[in-house]
Amino acid sequence: AEVIIVSNEDEAGRIYADCTAQLIKSKPDCVLGLATGSSPLAAYKALAAKVKAEGIDVSRVRGFALDEYAGLDPNHPQSYRSTINRTVVEPLGMNPDLVRVPNGNLDTIATAGREYDAAIEAAGGVDLQILGIGTDGHIGFNEPGSSLASGTRIKTLTEQTRIDNARFFEDDVNKVPTHCITQGIGTILKARQLVLLAFGAGKAEAVAETVEGGISSFCPASALQLHPHATVIVDEAAASRLR
């Protein structure tokens, strides 16, 4: 992967925004791969600002989110459906009907993954996928040990990820759902371009494993090494373990 070291999240955000704005102008019905979490927030802000400032038409832009909690009401403020609406769809002014999030409803979750992958394929595939990375090297919710060929499916969240995400659930790890539905690593690798963002010392080890470690399901993000067009944008702290 290409590594770009930036001085802060805003600088990373501007790189993503420039790249995405370019894509939307050249392909007004392009397909954006969307992530939740803290890492992409500055990028979404920068893109929304650029879309407003330049009057870019996003009415036909489509989107597919990476993942969703299982068994959490989509109307819950911390569902990824709500989060994507709040952080991406509304600020950019996208058509919400064109943005899909995996369906975490427990009644249909056994088949929801295959349907989601089929929907991505029917849309022509993801043009540009933004990614964050977990402290354990996960992308989407593909925790260590996930098949590098996996499609969208239900997964169990690790204790570490639930602890990391407790901040969104009143700091109570018991309120964090135990399962999720996530695009697989195989799904993510089908996107035409990947941009992974990581900030802070807590991500340094995972970033080093991703970029310089062996390709292994024990660091799911290391699968980026298999992708012909992957860019990793990090601040100095997240880059501190790179050789």
Residues that are catalytic: 67, 136, 138, 143
Among 43, 139, 188, 219, binds ligand F6R (CB under 6 A): 139
Residue 39 contacts ligand F6R per CB under 6 A: yes
The one segment of 22-30, 108-116, 126-134, 171-179 that binds ligand F6R by CB under 6 A: 126-134
Q: Which stretch binds ligand F6R (CB under 6 A): 5-13, 18-26, 133-141, 232-240?
A: 133-141
Rounded-to-integer distance, Cα 53 and Cα 31, Å: 22
Q: Is 138 in the site for ligand F6R (CB under 6 A)?
A: yes
| Total residues binding ligand F6R (CB under 6 A) | 14
Least separation in angstroms between residue 57's CB and ligand F6R is 26
Select from 159, 157, 158, 164 the least CA-distant residue to 179. Answer: 157
The answer to whether residue 102 forms part of the interface with ligand F6R (CB under 6 A) is no
Query: Is residue 151 a contact residue for ligand F6R (CB under 6 A)?
Result: no
Window contacting ligand F6R (CB under 6 A); options: 34-42, 107-115, 171-179, 211-219 = 34-42
Cβ at position 139, least distance to ligand F6R in Å: 5
3-state secondary structure labels for all residues of the chain: CEEEEECCHHHHHHHHHHHHHHHHHHCCCCEEEECCCCCCHHHHHHHHHHHHHHCCCCCCCEEEECEEECCCCCCCCCCHHHHHHHHHHHHHCCCHHHEECCCCCCCCHHHHHHHHHHHHHHCCCCCEEEECCCCCCCECCECCCCCCCCCCEEEECCHHHHHHHHHHCCCCHHHCCCEEEECCHHHHHCCCCEEEEECCHHHHHHHHHHHHCCCECCEHHHHHHHCCCEEEEEECCCCCCCC
Instruction: State the nearest-atom distance from the C-beta of 88 to ligand F6R, in Å.
Output: 11
* Interacting span for ligand F6R (CB under 6 A) from 21-29, 91-99, 128-136, 186-194: 128-136
Give the nearer residue to ligand F6R in terms of CB position, either 62 or 203.
Answer: 203
- 36 sits near ligand F6R (criterion: CB under 6 A): yes
Residues that bind ligand F6R (CB under 6 A): 35-39, 66-67, 132-134, 138-141
